[in-house]
Amino acid sequence: MTDNQSTKKRVFSGIQPSGNLTIGNYLGAIKNWVAEQHNYDNIFCVVDLHALTVPQDPQVLFQKTREVALLYLACGIDLEHCAIFVQSDITAHSELTWLLNTVTPVGWLERMTQYKDKSAKQESIGTGLLDYPVLMAADIILYDTHYVPVGEDQKQHLELTRDIVLRFNSLYGDTFVLPEVLIPKAGARVKGLDDPTAKMSKSSDKQGHALHLLDPPKVLRKSIMRATTDSENRIAFDPEKQAGVTNLLTIYQAITNMSEEAVLNEFDGEGYGTLKKRVAEAVIETLEPIQKRYHEMAADPAYIEQILKEGADRIRPLAEHRLYVAQKNMGIRK
Ligand code: TRP
C-alpha cells in the first residue's frame, strides 16, 4: 500500500482456514485476486474466527491458518498491492461484531441459506454459526471496503452486510462505506470430482473429491482420472446432463484462460480419457510452481509469522479508527 495507491478502491476478501485449499479456491477466487491486484488497494484475510463456528482441532487450525496465508503468497499475491493478515490478530473484528449484533434482527440471520445448510447437519447449533455473517460484515466494513470479490455462494452474505450498513448508518449517522459484491468475470465454480452437482469443498477429506493445492502430482492425476463422468460420450458444456464433463472442461478453461469455444475445438473428436489426461497435465503444470514456492517459504516458519505481523500492524489503525467512529456514534466513546 504505497502512497499512489491511496486513490485506488479498496478490495477485501477472505478464506477460512478450515481444511485444505482446493483448485476451486484458486480458480474461483485467488487467481482473480492476483490478476486484479494492481487495480486495487487490497486486503486479504485468513478468517480464523469464522473457522471456529464449526469444531476445529486447535493445533490443526493454527497450522492451517499459516498454510492459507503462505498459499496466498505462493499463488502470487504481491505485498506491494496487498496486505495479508489473520482475522484474530485485529481484535476490532470481534468488537465491531458485537456492536453490529445490536442492530441486526435474528430473522435476517435465520434466513441465510448457508446457515440453514450448516445448521441442518448439526445437533446443537452454536450462536457463532448464526452470527457468522455479522462477523463477515465487520471484516468488510472496518476497512471502508468498496469491493468484495466472492463466489456466488457468498452473495447473500454481502447483501446482508449492505442491509446492516444501511441500518447502522440510518440509526447512528453515516459511519460505514456501503460495499459492493464483485463476482469475478472469469471465476470458475468448480464442483466435486466425485459428485459434480455440489461445490468442491476444502473441508471434505473424501478421496477423489477435491484437488488440493498441495496434493502431490500422483494424487492429483489419480483423482482426475477417477472423476465422475457419464456415458454420453460427448464433450460439451452441459451442466444439466453432463455435470462431470462440464466440470472438467470448466477447470481446463479456467486454468488455460481459453474460451469455451477454443476448449471445445481442442477436444473435438476426443474421448473422456484424453480430456482427463489433459486436465491432469494442466492442473499439475499450474500447481507445481505454486507448491515449489510454498515449500520454500514454509521451510522457515518465522517468515510467515513476520509477514502476518507486518500485515496486521499496517492495517490495524484503519480498523481501530472505524471502530472508534462507530463507538462514538453509538454513544460509548467521547
Ligand atoms: N464467508 C466467506 C466464505 O466462506 C469467508 C469470509 C469471511 C469473507 N469474511 C469475509 C469473504 C469477508 C469476503 C469478505 O467464503
For 121-142, what is the mean pLDDT?
A: 95
Instruction: Give the dihedral sign, CA 81/157/52/16.
Output: negative
**What is the pLDDT, as a whole number, of residue 184?**
73
For 233-256, what is the mean pLDDT?
A: 95
For the chain, where do the domains classified as CATH 3.40.50.620 start and end?
Answer: 3-188+301-330
Q: Does residue 218 have a pLDDT over 70?
A: yes
Paired with 42 in beta bridges are: 11, 82
What is the C-alpha to C-alpha distance for residues 205 and 122, in angstroms, rounded to an integer? 18
Give the position, in ligand 1's atom list, of the atom nearest the Cα of 132: 1
Segment 16-26, tens digit of pLDDT: 999 999 999 99
**What is the pLDDT, as a whole number, of residue 277?**
98
What b-and-e string marks burial along 153-166, b requiring 16 or more CB atoms within 10 Å of the CB?
ebebbbebbbebbe
For the beta carbon of residue 205, count every other beta carbon within 10 angstroms: 11
Grade residue 48 by pLDDT with cuts at 50, 70 and 90: very high
The domain defined by 217-295 carries CATH number 1.10.530.10: no
Please indicate whether residue 73 or residue 188 has the higher confidence score (pLDDT).
73
Segment 173-214, tens digit of pLDDT: 999 999 999 987 666 789 999 999 999 999 888 999 999 999
HEC-encoded secondary structure of 129-160: HHHHHHHHHHHHHCCCCCEEECCHHHHHHHHH
Residue with CA at minimum distance from ligand 1 atom 3: 15
What is the C-alpha to C-alpha distance for residues 181 and 171, in angstroms, rounded to an integer? 24
Q: How far is the CA of 136 from the centre of ligand 1 (A)?
A: 6
Grade residue 4 by pLDDT with cuts at 50, 70 and 90: low
**What is the pLDDT, as a whole number, of residue 312?**
98
Q: Does residue 265 have a pLDDT over 80?
A: yes
What b-and-e string marks burial along 270-290, b requiring 16 or more CB atoms within 10 Å of the CB?
eebeebbebbbebbbebbeeb
For the beta carbon of residue 294, count every other beta carbon within 10 angstroms: 19
- One DSSP character per residue, 9-23 reads PEEEEEE--SS--BH
Whether ligand 1 lies within 6 angstroms of the CB of 246 is answered as no
Grade residue 151 by pLDDT with cuts at 50, 70 and 90: confident
**What is the pLDDT, as a whole number, of residue 6?**
66
Residue with CA at minimum distance from ligand 1 atom 15: 15
* Residue that has been written with the C-alpha cell 450462536 in this structure: 127
Residue with CA at minimum distance from ligand 1 atom 6: 14
Q: Cβ(176)–Cβ(165) under 8 Å?
A: yes
Whether ligand 1 lies within 6 angstroms of the CB of 140 is answered as yes
Q: How far is the CA of 12 from the centre of ligand 1 (A)?
A: 9
Percent of the chain whose predicted confidence (pLDDT) is above 90:
92
**What is the pLDDT, as a whole number, of residue 122?**
82
What is the C-alpha to C-alpha distance for residues 48 and 263, in angstroms, rounded to an integer? 38
Query: What rounded mean pLDDT belongs to the chain?
Result: 95
Task: Give me the helix-helix angle, 92-101 and 127-141, nearest 10°.
Answer: 110
Active site residues: 118, 199, 202
CA atoms within 13 A of residue 305's CA, in its CB half-sphere: 6
Whether ligand 1 lies within 6 angstroms of the CB of 14 is answered as yes
For the beta carbon of residue 302, count every other beta carbon within 10 angstroms: 7
234 class by beta-carbon count within 10 Å (0-12 exposed, 13-18 middle, 19+ buried)? exposed
Whether ligand 1 lies within 6 angstroms of the CB of 136 is answered as yes
Q: Cβ(192)–Cβ(198) under 8 Å?
A: yes
Grade residue 276 by pLDDT with cuts at 50, 70 and 90: very high
Q: Does residue 308 have a pLDDT over 70?
A: yes
Report the CATH fold assignment for 3-188+301-330.
Rossmann fold (3.40.50)
What is the C-alpha to C-alpha distance for residues 129 and 164, in angstroms, rounded to an integer? 18
For 301-324, what is the mean pLDDT?
A: 98
For the chain, where do the domains classified as CATH 1.10.240.10 start and end?
Answer: 217-295
Percent of the chain whose predicted confidence (pLDDT) is above 70:
97
Q: Does residue 228 have a pLDDT over 90?
A: yes
For 106-110, what is the mean pLDDT?
A: 98
Segment 95-107, tens digit of pLDDT: 999 999 999 999 9
Q: How far is the CA of 95 from the centre of ligand 1 (A)?
A: 18
For 136-142, what is the mean pLDDT?
A: 98
